[in-house]
Structure 1
């Protein structure tokens, strides 16, 4: 099964956060790493997910699977739910976790659902 990547926006910060304070996105990445990464998942920090008005933001992706972007996440309260959702995503063949099986923050705070990038074989068949 393909490795799942949990992208964490390191530059995210919410309104009202002191610009000199540590960025909540970086705090989220640290909290996720310290909590223990699920099997088949790797955490990768990224500079920006362009979800600035919805920070903190993460994205889940894997080759051949749907990609999801989630926002309005809190580094203090959502870590367990994010890791649970990432583990469930990693166990799917297509990236689609049944709606009722998703953690609540993944049901209510999804910003985008992006189709899988076609493989060369799929692309050739479509042409």
Structure 2
């Protein structure tokens, strides 16, 4: 059985901003920044992993967060070219709030601005009743 106090953040490592040909790709840089920031300020229950492609190529950099009994969210438009560290801090701040909720729905005003503007999809939990 999955622990309801856990979440997995998948980071698209193939994400690349338009015209960016640098290596590692922006998504891989974001993943590295997230792991480094999580080392400095851990988020209990959060696993961070790379994903080959989240198919949101027009909104790089893209991440998805999934957790048992919570809504799944896909977010895009994180800046991993100019400031991947700031994007990592923003993501981890939002994910701390996400894990504090029973259903993953953080009140609108309590979400980081990047979460309000960058949401690509919101997917209901598998066990949702109603």
Give me the TM-score of the superposition, normalised by structure 1.
0.88
Q: Which residue of 1 aligns with 2:107?
A: 98
Once the two structures are superposed, what CA deviation does each residue of 1:17-45 show, in whole Å capped at 9, x if it has no partner?
01x52110000000000012411211011
Of the candidates 20, 24, 27, which is equivalent to residue 25 of structure 1? 27
Unaligned runs of 5+ in 1: none
Give me the TM-score of the superposition, normalised by structure 2.
0.86
Q: Which residue of 1 aligns with 2:11?
A: 8
Task: Look at both structures and tell me which one has the larger radius of gyration over its CA atoms.
Answer: 1
RMSD: 1.6
When the two structures are aligned, how many residues end up with a matched partner? 120
Unaligned runs of 5+ in 2: none
Secondary structure of the 1:52 match is coil
Cα distance in 2, alignment partners of residues 32 and 21 from structure 1: 17
